[in-house]
Structure 1
Amino acid sequence: MKFSIGRTFLLGFGFFGVSVIWMVYNAFVPLFLANRFHIEPWLIGLFMTFDNFAALFIQPPVGAWSDRLRTPIGRRMPFILIGAPIAALVFGLIPLASVLPLFVACTSTLILSMAFWRTPVVALMPDITPSEYRSQANGIINLMGGLGAILGTLVGGPLFNINEAYPFWMGSALVILAALMVFIFIKEPKEYETTSEEQPSLWQSLIDVLTSQERSALRILLAIFFWFVAYNAIEAFFTLYAQNHLGLPGGDGARLLGQLSLLFVLFALPAGMLGGKFGRRKVIMSGIILLSACMLGMYFLPPETLLIQITRLPVLGVVPVVGVILMIAGIAWAMINVNSLPMVVDMTDQLRVGTYTGLYYLFSTLAAIAGPNLNGWIIQLTGKDYSNTMLVGPLFMLVALVMMLGVRRGEAKSVPSA
């Protein structure tokens, strides 16, 4: 198994499709809920976690199932070819739903179909990448995901201001294209590691992590939980934060998120390289500190300061102070996110890559449930002050930092020379 940059870029189209869908969903569904259906903030927070409740019960066992599956087209590919087309279809129907029950039906179907194929498409990366190159490969994967996020925000924002359905229709077309690119150009390994022993299930692997005397795996999974609580809490409410705290139109709030996504994309590859050179743990911890500082800046600086125009750039348009802070946050998030999954999968063997990918998503999904709910209630209880979304995050980042201090495994494994 050799590392191929070109093949990894092609694999990244899978994560590209996932990111387009979720960025458009997270940016504009809260606006529909607040403006079209007049839902209260705490209920919006609950609604924005429905996808994560589904993922909690679907993604981890699907990851373990894909480890065991054997088909002529591979063990991961069937999940992609079933889940992606269904997701594309219902995603395009979401903005057309004028009554709440139909809106919920469309979003629920999207949630289930996306949960069905996300873990297998992510598990393809370690399937085809040697351990010592997984941070770099994950940098490429996240670069492609960031490109999807940019399209969902920088392009989706102006499209939303023209017609609320346009970003969703764009996302549907792109996710079909992405799934086809993965199916056509990525060939799964023909042979897999085998063992005469029964493979532990996801839940047995979780029990092993919880009861192990060496706590590195548990610590990083808890760190993942806490930093995703912080990040998801902000992401779920940012367009409403921009609308209610900064006084910006919904499309402009999405455009600001696009500035974060752009820097995430530009720094995804360098973040992987930094993890390979200086160690994944050190780079993640640096990212935690930097992202915490960005959140505190968005909380303590007044709106009139955050909206001061710094410059105007092609594609990005006006870049205010808050845009610069979000760009720095994008760099910090790349340092954390690019290096975390490789650390998790390098704490196990090749037989359980899908299972440990499932554990990664189990803890990130639990965080994605807790974060928006927590912030929804904080906003509700503080008189709908959306700036409080930026205050809670650093507290959870601090806990994540403490967890990472005790991680001793998960760096790149060297391959013995012949």
Structure 2
Amino acid sequence: MTTVDTPRGRKSGRRITFYVALAVFAQESTWNFYDAQVPPLLREHVGSAAVIGLLMGMDNVLGLFIQPWIGNRSDNTRTRWGRRIPYLAVGMPIAAVLFATIPLASSLPALIALMFAYALVANSFKPLGEALLPDFIRPERRSRANAAVKIASSLTIIVSALISTFLVDSHPKLAFSVPSVLMLVSAAVLVWRVRDSTSRAYREAVAEDREPAREDTPKPRMRDILRDIAGDTDRTRLLVILAILLFGAAWAASRSLITNYGIEALGLSRGGAGGLTLPSGVAFLLAAYPLALLSERIGRVRVMAMGATVFVVSLTIGTLLHTPTATIVALCVAAIGAAGFVINGAVVLWNLAPSSRVLGTYTALYTVGWATGGFLGPAVVGGMVDVTGWRLMPIDAALLAVFALGAVVRIELLRRRSSSEAGVAL
């Protein structure tokens, strides 16, 4: 898989994109079902919503530390299978088994132990499936490949809802086995069909290792990579991570708080308010791939800026019009804008990586930035709602996106001024 510019290379690119999408689909299926159905299990043992929320946030805290570490460790791994597949081959089956046993816990300590074990193992390979994409796909084609992966990830929300609808009430323990089986099948397919030792990035990393100037130097460490990003006078990479965190916060807040907004501000029933986001999910899926093609034509940073702008304007107009129909339309348009940002955030960060030796670490920095935003966003916007009221909640979420837009605009200005980024596919 040396290129994606020839017909054979494009076919190989589509093939690896499918396998990466399959891996991400399997992983996110378990995570989405975990978020939907583990809280009711905790509710059987714990009466405090705050304690339940704290326990449910445990996986995010673990991810902040584990994901960058495993991304960096995989970057420095050299085997005949490659540097990502060995961890996926071991981690995915173990996580699948642990996930299936969660509903079998008969006490709170046992449930917490299984939750911790699953979160520990699942976080240990979470960024590695996505890291396969920049390993195989050339920079100029990564947006369309990442769009396919994001579509697969978004579909898991529907899968989780379907499992909850048809299995949870009648077979609550069996329901957890469905995502587990999906993960086992995905792991088997990956191990059978993919060897990332054949990827362009892996071969480049091995070639760099063998350069005389690098033979006696240590492999890139996490703290050295972070120091390089923080100390870079250009600030582009730091701004990209900041923009990802801020937009992730805005997106998470706009999704997680919309049901309460519908109830409190629009006067809808719980069911009606919960359905406000369904059309926007479809809009995201339909817009992702065309926006990826547009990104490759006019530039990824430009599409990210356009997407953030559309997100802000649509939520603002929807708030001002203040009707259920206007809210649904605004959420749909905002989702299209979000798609333009989301499919390109990781790609821009990958393309700014100084070497193929650190792509796994950069993938982990993206996932941590996005997850941190997802963790902080609802809390920050919730605090703003306490001050401004539910009536202005979408505008409160849009305000976070304004800061993300500012970071993206700054990135574009830096890119135009700097000649050092010449040839980088941004």
Normalised by the length of structure 1, the TM-score is 0.81
Instruction: Classify 1:331/1:168 alpha carbon distance in 2 versus 1 (closer, same or farther; 3 Å).
Output: farther
Do structure 1's residue 406 and structure 2's residue 410 form an aligned pair? yes
The residue aligned with 2:9 is none
- After superposition, give the CA deviation of every residue in 1:186-235 in whole Å (9 maximum; x if it has no partner): 22134342231434322211111111111111111111111112223344
Structure 1 residue 295: Cα displacement: 4.4
The residue aligned with 2:360 is 354
Q: Judge which range, 366-375 or 283-292, deviates more.
A: 366-375
SS at match of 1:189: helix
Q: Where do 1:234-253 residues align within 5 Å?
A: 234-236=254-256, 246-249=268-271, 253=274
> Given that residues 138 and 338 in structure 1 are in contact (C-alpha distance below 8 angstroms), is that contact kept between their aligned partners in structure 2?
yes
| In 2, Cα distance between equivalents of 1:275 and 1:103 | 45
The residue aligned with 1:2 is 3
- After superposition, give the CA deviation of every residue in 1:308-365 in whole Å (9 maximum; x if it has no partner): 6xxxxxxxxxxxx655544434322221111111100111221221122222233223
The residue aligned with 2:177 is 169
Give the gaps of 5 or more residues in structure 1: 309-320
SS at match of 1:406: helix
The residue aligned with 1:115 is 123
Structure 1 residue 64: Cα displacement: 0.7
- What is the identity, as a one-letter code, of the residue corresponding to 1:396? L
Larger Rg: 2
Q: Which has the higher contact order (CA 8 A, sep 6+)?
A: 1
- What is the identity, as a one-letter code, of the residue corresponding to 1:370? L
| In 1, Cα distance between equivalents of 2:26 and 2:318 | 30
The residue aligned with 1:52 is 60
Structure 1 residue 119: Cα displacement: 1.4
The residue aligned with 2:396 is 392
Structure 1 residue 125: Cα displacement: 0.4
> Given that residues 76 and 220 in structure 2 are in contact (C-alpha distance below 8 angstroms), is that contact kept between their aligned partners in structure 1?
no
SS at match of 1:6: helix
Q: Where do 1:80-91 residues align within 5 Å?
A: 80-91=88-99
- What is the identity, as a one-letter code, of the residue corresponding to 1:174? L
| In 2, Cα distance between equivalents of 1:130 and 1:405 | 25
Q: Judge which range, 190-199 or 395-404, deviates more.
A: 190-199
The alignment-based identity, stated in percent, is 27
Instruction: Classify 1:236/1:202 alpha carbon distance in 2 versus 1 (closer, same or farther; 3 Å).
Output: farther
> Given that residues 343 and 411 in structure 1 are in contact (C-alpha distance below 8 angstroms), is that contact kept between their aligned partners in structure 2?
no
Structure 1 residue 25: Cα displacement: 2.8
> Given that residues 46 and 52 in structure 2 are in contact (C-alpha distance below 8 angstroms), is that contact kept between their aligned partners in structure 1?
no
> Given that residues 64 and 202 in structure 1 are in contact (C-alpha distance below 8 angstroms), is that contact kept between their aligned partners in structure 2?
yes
Of Structure 1 and Structure 2, the greater helix share is in: 2
SS at match of 1:175: helix
| In 1, Cα distance between equivalents of 2:301 and 2:251 | 19
> Given that residues 87 and 110 in structure 1 are in contact (C-alpha distance below 8 angstroms), is that contact kept between their aligned partners in structure 2?
yes
Q: CA RMSD in A?
A: 3.4
Instruction: Classify 1:267/1:94 alpha carbon distance in 2 versus 1 (closer, same or farther; 3 Å).
Output: farther
The residue aligned with 1:285 is 305
Aligned residues: 394
The residue aligned with 1:331 is 336
The residue aligned with 1:78 is 86
- What is the identity, as a one-letter code, of the residue corresponding to 2:311? L
> Given that residues 134 and 412 in structure 1 are in contact (C-alpha distance below 8 angstroms), is that contact kept between their aligned partners in structure 2?
no
Structure 1 residue 389: Cα displacement: 5.9
SS at match of 2:226: helix
Structure 1 residue 298: Cα displacement: 6.7
- What is the identity, as a one-letter code, of the residue corresponding to 2:153? G
Instruction: Classify 1:277/1:189 alpha carbon distance in 2 versus 1 (closer, same or farther; 3 Å).
Output: same
Normalised by the length of structure 2, the TM-score is 0.80
Instruction: Classify 1:247/1:342 alpha carbon distance in 2 versus 1 (closer, same or farther; 3 Å).
Output: same
> Given that residues 284 and 336 in structure 1 are in contact (C-alpha distance below 8 angstroms), is that contact kept between their aligned partners in structure 2?
yes
Do structure 1's residue 39 and structure 2's residue 40 form an aligned pair? no
Among residues 186, 197, 202, which one is paired with 2:194 in the alignment?
A: 186
| In 1, Cα distance between equivalents of 2:171 and 2:321 | 33
Give the gaps of 5 or more residues in structure 2: 5-12, 416-420
Instruction: Classify 1:217/1:76 alpha carbon distance in 2 versus 1 (closer, same or farther; 3 Å).
Output: same
